[in-house]
Amino acid sequence: MFGEHASFIIPSYIISFVAIVGMTIYIIAQHKLRKAELKRLEESGIKRRADNG
């Protein structure tokens, strides 16, 4: 499949896939970490000024 240039085509798609999926996973993981941190802070009684009214 892809003829004599398969060794150039397949790595191109693998690199693109790894970079985009990797970036997506990183951003989702960061979101989960920040949500957990925010929850921990709120549970310890710290509130944002906006929440204090």
- Residues lying near another protein in the complex (CB under 8 A) are found at 2-6, 8-9, 11-13, 15-16, 19-20, 23-24, 27-28, 30-31, 34-35, 37-38, 41, 44, 46-50
C-alpha 14/C-alpha 5 separation (Å) is 15
Inter-residue contact 2 to 10 (CB < 8 Å): yes
The count of residues in the chain is 53
- DSSP one-letter code for 9: H
Nearer to another protein, 12 or 53 (CB): 12
Question: Measured from the CB of residue 23, what is the shortest distance to another protein in angstroms?
Answer: 6
Query: Residue 30 CB, nearest distance to another protein (Å)?
Result: 5
